[in-house]
Structure 1
Amino acid sequence: MAFQLAVCAEMVFTDMPFIERVERIHAKGLCVEMWDWSNKDLVQLAATGATFTSMTGYLRGTLTTAHGIEELLSTAKLSIEASRHFGNLNLNLHGTGLGEGGLPVEPVDEVTEAMWHSARETLQQIAELGEQEGVNFVLENLNLDVDHPGVPFARAHDTLALVSHVNNPHLKMNLDLYHAQIGEGNLISLIEQSLPWIGEIQIADVPGRCEPGTGEINY
């Protein structure tokens, strides 16, 4: 399985305008990840010649409520159209919509079986949308203890359960090892279990979400 090496432009060179961050990363021969596309000049970013590997695949919504599902699917369609500027890249999803500081817009204290059922059905629709449009979605795990309390389906084992249930190549896992180390640990076993379903891996060290090799993870 081959992966492209990319740098998240949201996290580096933060004293520079976003377009200059992209140009700096591209000049180093690396691909680029970005998050929210709706506040960026997509034509200008595409003109840099950089290869983008991932961007957020929705603007609002949830996996479990009627209104949230409608918002998720409608803004996923907008994200697909936005992604056409960059060719074939992953469209990233979360267990629910995130707001200021990465906190959930609709926090959840307990995930019920009914919510699991709704999430599976919603992600089935997302995968079918990806198949129809020729794009790939990925579902990212997050940590609850430090950065994203209240996000449902946040653990890597949750995203693995959902993605493997849908079992469609247009929906894969975005396995974030920084988040997984905080919430679950046992990373080698987690990677081995998840490997058939992985579409993207993100790395940073713990604590601090800093460069690999600066913390407790033995990269």
Structure 2
Amino acid sequence: MSDIRLAACAEMLFCDLDFLDRVRRIADRGLLVEIWDWSTKDVDALAASGAEFSSMTGYLTGDLTTPDGIAALLESAAASLPIAERLGCPRLNLHGTGLGEGGLPVRPVEVVTPQMWLTAADTLHRVAELGAAAGRTFVLENLNLAVDHPGTPFARAADTLALVRAVDHPNLRLNLDLYHAQIGEGNLISLVTEALPYIGEIQVADVPGRREPGTGEINYRAVADALRALGYDGVVGMEAWASGDSDAALDAFVAAFAG
């Protein structure tokens, strides 16, 4: 058996409220809170909110493979670590490259070369070392290319898993996003089974629409049963838009993953 903890992304719920009130509404339900870009937030107010944070974006700019992009990524990852400490946030999220307006990559890549794979692994090792020194874990998130993030390198779950395996560092894990994985690859229960030793966190939303569990094609109750059978005792975070009322969306999420 496992003891799964649940989180919700404050960027996508209670959107009629100011951000601090969104965080409080999620925390009042006993859920962990996920946030994105910390540089746009009142960090002191968040730290005083009483919320427990699960993950936050761990960089502001940069990429894994170009000289200037690597320098920017390492600099902004280092700048993110004191914020994570201030918030008590254990995990900092990364992507294959910086994302800009509408979630599109700031540097689209058509072909990922063997040298880019080697460089990305080296960069991630350097990021993991930063995390180790600060007592935090960076998590590499898979994305989908077909709907939300075309042109993003190292986007598929198979790609992020290959990189995390290659780096093999305890301060670099996967943020395994099952919404993105369903669009790009499917076969979710086999995926979580294979990736289990490398998972730092799991994120969920239904397909299509990126809304709460129960609004689309994914059988999240079966996924939850599989995670418990595997002994997964980490965090599952809902990174999804509400199809209607945000509290009702959270009710559906909690119901899908309740033991």
Same fold (TM over 0.5): yes
Task: Answer yes or no: is 1:94 the counterpart of 2:89.
Answer: no
Alignment of 1:31-50 (within 5 A): 31-50=32-51
Paired residue for 2:110? 109
Which segments of structure 1 move beyond 3 Å, counting only runs of 4 or more?
Answer: none
Aligned 8 A contact 2:52 2:89 in 1: no
Paired residue for 2:190? 189
Paired residue for 2:250? none
Task: Answer yes or no: is 1:79 the counterpart of 2:56.
Answer: no
Residue 82 of structure 1, CA deviation? 1.1
Task: Answer yes or no: is 1:207 the counterpart of 2:202.
Answer: no
Paired residue for 2:168? 167
Residue identity (%): 64
Paired residue for 2:58? 57
Secondary structure of residue in 2 paired with 1:5: strand
Distance in 1 (CA, whole Å) between partners of 2:69 and 2:22 is 33
Paired residue for 1:128? 129
Moved more, 132-141 or 1-10: 1-10
How many residues align? The count is: 219
Moved more, 127-136 or 71-80: 127-136
Residue 141 of structure 1, CA deviation? 0.2
1:162-197 Cα distance to aligned partner (Å, 9 max, x none): 001111110000000000000000111111110000
Paired residue for 2:21? 20
Q: Which has the higher helix share?
A: 2
Secondary structure of residue in 1 paired with 2:87: coil
The AA in structure 1 aligned to 2:177 is D
Residue 50 of structure 1, CA deviation? 0.2
Change (3 A) 1:2 1:121: farther
Secondary structure of residue in 1 paired with 2:16: coil
1:119-143 Cα distance to aligned partner (Å, 9 max, x none): 0100011111111121110000000
Residue 4 of structure 1, CA deviation? 2.3
The AA in structure 2 aligned to 1:44 is A
The AA in structure 1 aligned to 2:167 is V
Q: RCO (CA 8 Å, sep 6+): is it higher in 1 or 2?
A: 2
Aligned 8 A contact 2:96 2:153 in 1: yes
Residue 3 of structure 1, CA deviation? 3.8
Residue 13 of structure 1, CA deviation? 0.8
Aligned 8 A contact 2:60 2:73 in 1: yes
Residue 15 of structure 1, CA deviation? 1.4
The AA in structure 1 aligned to 2:55 is S
Aligned 8 A contact 2:128 2:172 in 1: yes
Secondary structure of residue in 2 paired with 1:143: coil
Residue 22 of structure 1, CA deviation? 0.5
Aligned 8 A contact 2:56 2:89 in 1: no
Paired residue for 2:139? 138
Distance in 1 (CA, whole Å) between partners of 2:85 and 2:166 is 28
The AA in structure 2 aligned to 1:204 is A
Secondary structure of residue in 2 paired with 1:24: helix
The AA in structure 2 aligned to 1:218 is N
Residue 2 of structure 1, CA deviation? 4.3
1:6-51 Cα distance to aligned partner (Å, 9 max, x none): 1000111111111110011111111100000001000001111000
Distance in 2 (CA, whole Å) between partners of 1:28 and 1:112 is 46
Distance in 2 (CA, whole Å) between partners of 1:69 and 1:76 is 10
1:96-135 Cα distance to aligned partner (Å, 9 max, x none): 0000111100111111111101001000111111111211
Paired residue for 2:231? none
Distance in 2 (CA, whole Å) between partners of 1:134 and 1:51 is 17
The AA in structure 1 aligned to 2:78 is K
Secondary structure of residue in 2 paired with 1:53: strand
